[in-house]
């Protein structure tokens, strides 16, 4: 049986208390949320924190609600607390209506045991390139709120991932909220291929489109599991912006996805297969996102 190295454990009773503990205990302290990524790493001794700060009692970090303007200028947004569990994302009618790519993704993330405990904050902070929610939040053009000893800052997803398993969340910081800007004409979708139900992706693609008067006003596209980090497809986004949605355009975006990803060969498949999947899944996600956006527009 694998067991973690010994560690000290404390349960945070407030956000401020968790941040103060991180500050006091230094770089050997780690936050634990659902534990579904951190505990397996500790059992394998890939992570050996001396202190765990458990945030599971912080009910104030568990919510999905609408309200407030974003820093990027959208008049309204959906706010998701960092401790919100996968199961709550899956069941949310608000998300299913405004950002259906969340339900697409949550339907195929792991199994009920993982979904009952794992959190959106843990998923994003883990920053595993195969994490579905990182691609979902990148495509949805989310902003995240990070609180540290010097206060709060808001970071766009384009600046969130700074390397494999590395994010803008520093050693003394807590991710507290994910914000999704609400704009008219939105449609979104997440497409994934896995080896068997509940497995990590061989490849996955998330897409969000904002259609105004039949034209793509804005777009976000991101890939999981086909590079060292979540891949943001800015070249494909540039191609689509200002164009009329069409099958040919989405096929071109798929070709860019196949070129701009950088998968490695492993037990999930060879490089050319993963590149092929990245292209096909990007085209499919865009097609479904556009259908959803146009149905809303009508
Ligand atoms: C069998 C299995 C299958 C899985 N399959 C998939 C899958 O198909 N797709 C997928 O996307 N995921 C999958 N996962 C991962 C799952 O989504 C995890 O729940 C998620 O990766 C981590 O969330 P957590 O709350 O458990 O984080 P934890 O394990 O508690 O923490 C992960 C990391 O984030 C840090 N952290 C957590 N919360 C915060 C915060 N608020 N602020 C700062 N740092 C924080 C921790 O210190 C740690 O470094 C799978 C997991 C398992 C065990």
Q: What is the mean pLDDT of the chain?
A: 95
Q: What is the mean pLDDT of residues 247-260?
A: 98
pLDDT reading at 113 higher than 70 = yes
CA–CA separation, 222 vs 236, rounded Å? 10
Q: Which residue has the tokens 């803008």?
A: 168
- Cα→Cα distances 204→87, 212, 283, Å: 20, 27, 11
Q: Is 174 in the pocket of ligand 1 (CB under 6 A)?
A: yes
Q: Are residues 170 and 227 in the same domain?
A: no
> In ligand 1, which atom is closest to the CA atom of 61?
41
At which of 154, 182, 210 does a domain end?
182
Percent of the chain topping pLDDT 70: 98
Q: Which residues of 64-103 are buried (b: 16+ CB within 10 A; e: fewer)?
A: beeeeebeeebeebbbbbbbbbbebbbebeebbebbbbbb
So what's the pLDDT on residue 1?
Answer: 65
- The answer to whether position 2 is within a domain reads no
Q: What is the CATH number of the domain that holds 140?
A: 3.30.465.10
What pLDDT does residue 4 have?
93
Structural domain contains residue 258: yes
Q: Which of 123, 103, 127 is nearest to 114 (CA)?
A: 123
Residue 72 has pLDDT above 80, yes or no: no
The finding on whether 245 has its CB within 6 A of some atom of ligand 1 is: no
State the pLDDT at residue 43.
Answer: 95
User: Is residue 230 located within the same domain as residue 171?
Assistant: no
Per-residue pLDDT, 68: 78
pLDDT at residue 295, as a whole number: 87
**Distance of CA 217 from the midpoint of ligand 1 (Å):** 33
200 lines ligand 1 (CB under 6 A): yes
Residue 123 alpha carbon to ligand 1 centre in Å: 4
Beta strands 51-54 and 174-182 are unpaired
> How many domains is the chain built from?
3
Q: Which domain holds residue 16?
A: 8-54
Q: Please give the number of the atom of ligand 1 that sits closest to the Cα of 198.
A: 8
Residue 1 within any structural domain of the chain = no
User: Model confidence over 51-68: pLDDT tens digits?
Assistant: 999 999 999 999 999 987
What are 145-155's pLDDT values in tens digits? 999 999 999 99
| Residue 172 scores a pLDDT above 90 | yes
In this prediction, residue 2 has a pLDDT band, given cuts at 50, 70 and 90, of: confident
**Which pLDDT tens digit goes with each residue over 280-298?**
999 999 999 999 999 875 4
pLDDT at 249 over 90: yes
Residue 298 has a pLDDT of 45
pLDDT digits (tens, 9 = 90+) for 14-26: 999 999 999 999 9
Shared domain for 18 and 126, answered yes or no, is: no
Specify whether 70 is located in the same domain as 135: yes
Nearest alpha carbon, ligand 1 atom 50: 110
Residue range 175-211, pLDDT digits in tens: 999 999 999 999 999 999 999 998 999 999 999 999 9
Ligand 1 lined by 114 (C-beta under 6 Å): yes
Tens of pLDDT along 115-143? 999 999 999 999 999 999 999 999 999 99
Distance 119 CA to ligand 1 centre (A): 6
**Residue 121 beta carbon below 6 angstroms from any ligand 1 atom:** yes
Average pLDDT of the residues in 254-274: 97
Q: Containing H/E element for 153?
A: strand 151-156
């Amino acid at each position: 049986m694998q067991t973690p190295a010994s560690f000290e454990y404390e349960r945070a009773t407030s956000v401020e208390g968790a941040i103060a503990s991180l500050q006091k205990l230094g770089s050997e302290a780690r936050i634990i949320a659902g534990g579904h990524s951190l505990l397996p790493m500790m059992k394998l001794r890939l992570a050996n924190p001396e202190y765990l700060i458990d945030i599971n009692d912080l009910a104030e970090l568990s919510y999905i609600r609408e309200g407030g303007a974003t820093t990027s200028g959208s008049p309204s947004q959906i706010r998701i607390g960092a401790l919100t569990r996968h199961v709550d994302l899956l069941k949310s009618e608000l998300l299913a209506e405004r950002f259906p790519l969340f339900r697409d993704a949550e339907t195929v993330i792991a199994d009920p045991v993982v979904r009952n405990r794992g959190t959106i904050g843990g998923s994003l902070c883990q920053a595993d390139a195969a994490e579905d929610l990182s691609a979902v939040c990148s495509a949805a053009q989310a902003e995240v709120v990070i609180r540290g000893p010097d206060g709060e800052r808001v970071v766009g997803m384009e600046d969130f991932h700074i390397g494999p398993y590395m994010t803008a969340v520093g050693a003394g910081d807590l991710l507290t909220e994910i914000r999704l800007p609400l704009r008219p004409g939105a449609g979104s979708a997440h497409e994934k291929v896995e080896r068997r139900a509940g497995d990590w992706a061989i490849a996955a693609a998330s897409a969000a489109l904002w259609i105004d008067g039949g034209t793509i006003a804005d777009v976000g596209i991101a890939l999981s599991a086909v590079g060292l980090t979540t891949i943001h497809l800015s070249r494909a986004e540039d191609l689509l912006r200002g164009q009329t949605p069409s099958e040919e355009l989405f096929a071109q975006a798929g070709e860019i996805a196949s070129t701009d990803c950088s998968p490695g060969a492993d037990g999930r498949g060879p490089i050319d297969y993963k590149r092929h999947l990245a292209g096909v899944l990007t085209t499919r996600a865009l097609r479904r996102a556009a259908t959803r956006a146009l149905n809303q527009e009508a």
